[in-house]
């Protein structure tokens, strides 16, 4: 998981960096397509005089051609994307995830996690759970646990439910690792879709509740909806007179 994410980010950065050398081709292709679509070529916007309170006496930069104007805009976009990638995936984040992965794979002790997260973890308990999990993997004749993804696969779905209950320290550490920006793009995009669909019809509090239910599907499925419905009905005299409770 981490190696693949790192390769993809590196490839994306290299590809975007190469775009700085491709403006002339981009500009020529844009003009050619605009001509085919019978769209007028872009022009330099009329210069605007800055308000007196912002005017320091120096004249603004004057572009001598439309191509020069859009070249600057093009470079600004490329530089902003590269800067955002560097801010989003700094080196210390990678090292943090690598340290967690080494602990889960048995290549390091649990001291780093205890120092970083403080009282959220008990060092000896975390180490014990890690060692027991690795023993179970060996007893099952499964491939050696080498990466965070290997542990995620063991804990995934109903098959891994008993492992999550048996090793809560490992389960908590995996959940934390999966929320780090390097590993959580899919989840963030999922919640963006949830918010886009619902934000115009529900309040923030209710939206948060929906997101929690979405993120904890296994617990949500265990909720007795009849009891929830009865509780909802019982909070209003009008609903009591309108609906029939199921567990009187």
The mean of the pLDDT values for the chain is: 82
- Domain total of the chain: 2
The CA-CA-CA angle for residues 191, 176, 5, to 5°, reads 70
157 and 121 housed in the same domain? yes
pTM (predicted TM-score): 0.52
Go through the chain and tell me how many residues it has.
248
Domain limits for position 125: 92-178
Is residue 196 domain-shared with residue 217, that is, in the same domain?
yes
As a whole number, mean pLDDT of residues 1-12 equals 79
The answer on 161 and 212 residing in a single domain is: no
Quick: pLDDT tens for 221-248: 888 989 999 999 999 889 888 888 877 6
Whether 17 shows a pLDDT value over 60: the answer reads yes
Regarding whether 140 and 114 lie in a shared domain, the answer is yes
Same domain, 189 and 161: no
Q: Do 144 and 200 have their domain in common?
A: no
Reported as a single tens digit per residue, the pLDDT across 120-133 is 888 899 899 999 98
Could you tell me if residue 68 is inside a domain?
Answer: no
Q: Are residues 132 and 172 in the same domain?
A: yes
Residues 215 and 156: their CA atoms lie apart, in Å, by: 14
Same domain, 105 and 165: yes
Please check whether residues 143 and 206 belong to one and the same domain: no
- Percent of the chain past pLDDT 90, that is, above it, reads 10
Spatial CA neighbour of 61 closest among 51, 72, 53, 52: 72
Does residue 16 contact residue 78 with C-beta atoms inside 8 Å? yes
């Amino acid at each position: 998981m981490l190696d693949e994410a790192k390769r993809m980010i590196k490839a994306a950065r290299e590809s975007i960096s190469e775009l700085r050398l491709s403006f002339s081709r981009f500009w020529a292709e844009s003009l050619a397509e605009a001509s085919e679509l019978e769209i007028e070529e872009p022009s330099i916007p009329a210069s605007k005089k800055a308000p007196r309170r912002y005017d320091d006496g120096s004249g603004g930069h004057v572009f001598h051609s439309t191509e020069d104007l859009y070249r600057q805009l093009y470079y600004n976009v490329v530089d902003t994307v590269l800067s955002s990638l560097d801010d989003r995936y700094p080196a210390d984040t990678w090292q943090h995830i690598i340290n967690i992965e080494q602990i889960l794979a048995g290549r390091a002790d649990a001291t780093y996690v205890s120092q970083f997260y403080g009282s959220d973890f008990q060092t000896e308990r975390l180490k014990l759970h890690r060692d027991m999990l690795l023993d179970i993997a060996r007893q099952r004749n499964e491939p050696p646990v080498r990466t965070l993804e290997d542990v995620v696969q063991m804990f995934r779905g109903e098959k891994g439910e008993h492992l999550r209950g048996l090793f809560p320290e490992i389960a908590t550490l995996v959940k934390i690792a999966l929320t780090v920006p390097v590993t959580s793009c899919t989840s963030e995009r999922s919640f963006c879709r949830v918010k886009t669909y619902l934000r115009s019809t529900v309040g923030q509090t209710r939206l948060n509740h929906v997101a929690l239910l979405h993120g904890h599907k296994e617990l949500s499925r265990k909720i007795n909806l009849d009891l929830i419905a009865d509780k909802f009905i019982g909070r209003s005299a009008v609903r009591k007179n309108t609906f029939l409770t199921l567990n009187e």
